[in-house]
Amino acid sequence: MDRKQLSKLRALKIELTRFMMLYQFALDELNTKFNILKQEFEYIHDYNPIENVTSRVKSPESILKKVHKKGFELSLPSIRENIQDIAGVRITCSFISDIYELKKQIEGQQDLEVVEIKDYIANPKPNGYQSLHLILRVPVSMSDRIERVFVEVQIRTIAMDFWASLEHKIYYKYNQEVPKHLVAELKEAAHSAAQLDKKMESIHMEMNEHKEALERKEEVQELVINNEKFRLPLDFLTTTLQMKE
Ligand code: 0O2
């Protein structure tokens, strides 16, 4: 290899590294955002809808595989535009309602652009796969410009995640040709996971209602003044008793 070719290769390596770095920066931005959301929500509502967050940048091999599979042009601009899950975040929540609460919070972030939403919870895939996918454009501030980078965010319950990771392992173990009986069993398992999610959600809601009722009860105090019974909020009593004459 002559010097000219070598320096061309070096330039290509730098370009590719910079390309991949952008996706890691976008993930860093999002991870910070989710961390803030998590802590703020916990502080205000004494509750946290996010159980766990993981992220990854797709390997160059997987990117190339996808480019060939989908028949896209093999160039950086084409990859940047067409492969929208090079950077991926996976979030698990305890309850389905948490997933939609989180979606609302993401949509409310001024600097994030929600490009596409795929709701595989409302419309599960034929194999039973359930998850909420958001394709976002995340602004990344570089020294000389702002890049808007695609990131795929998958939000699902712990039960959905349990199912998806086993299904993924089976799919690869059988080299994508899963025996029919396993396909059927997986579908049944997906149904059971969905039932479990529904049950947990209803228990969670009942617990919340009970908690709210308890709080309401605690807030009201009965007071007898001149043989007359008053039911007064605790707040009112506290502030009244603290009033100076
Ligand atoms: P990996 O290794 O997780 O990144 P496409 O992205 O074009 O192949 P589509 O329809 O555009 O497919 O996107 P979709 O359906 O939103 O799926 C993208 C990702 O969702 C997949 O990425 C998986 O991570 C996950 N996913 C989708 N369907 C299934 C499924 O049936 N089972 C499991 N376990 N995961 C699924 P990758 O690139 O395929 O894989």
Task: Name the nearest CA neighbour of 53 among 86, 21, 27.
Answer: 27
Ligand 1 mutation target, pool 123, 166, 168, most atoms within 8 A of CB: 168
Q: Which class is domain 3-215?
A: alpha beta
Amino acid identity, residue 154? Q
**CA dist., res. 85 & res. 151, Å (int):** 6
In the reported structure, the alpha carbon of residue 134 is separated from the centroid of ligand 1 by a whole-number distance in angstroms of 12
Please, are residues 189 and 216 in contact by the beta-carbon 8 Å criterion? no
The number of the ligand 1 atom at minimal distance from the alpha carbon of 133 is: 16
Give the chain's length. 245
Indicate whether 25 pLDDT > 80: yes
What residues does each domain of the chain span?
3-215
Query: Residue 147 catalytic?
Result: no
pTM: 0.85
In the reported structure, the alpha carbon of residue 2 is separated from the centroid of ligand 1 by a whole-number distance in angstroms of 42
Count of other CB atoms within 10 angstroms of residue 86: 25
Q: Whose CA is nearest to atom 33 of ligand 1?
A: 164
For the stretch 90-140, pLDDT in tens is 999 999 999 999 999 999 999 999 999 999 999 999 999 999 999 999 999
More confident residue, 237 or 84: 84
Structural Rg of the chain based on CA atoms: 26
In the reported structure, the alpha carbon of residue 31 is separated from the centroid of ligand 1 by a whole-number distance in angstroms of 21
Task: Name the nearest CA neighbour of 147 among 239, 65, 76.
Answer: 76
Q: What percent of the chain has pLDDT over 90?
A: 67
From 15, 152, 185, 206, the catalytic residue:
152
3-class SS of residue 117: strand
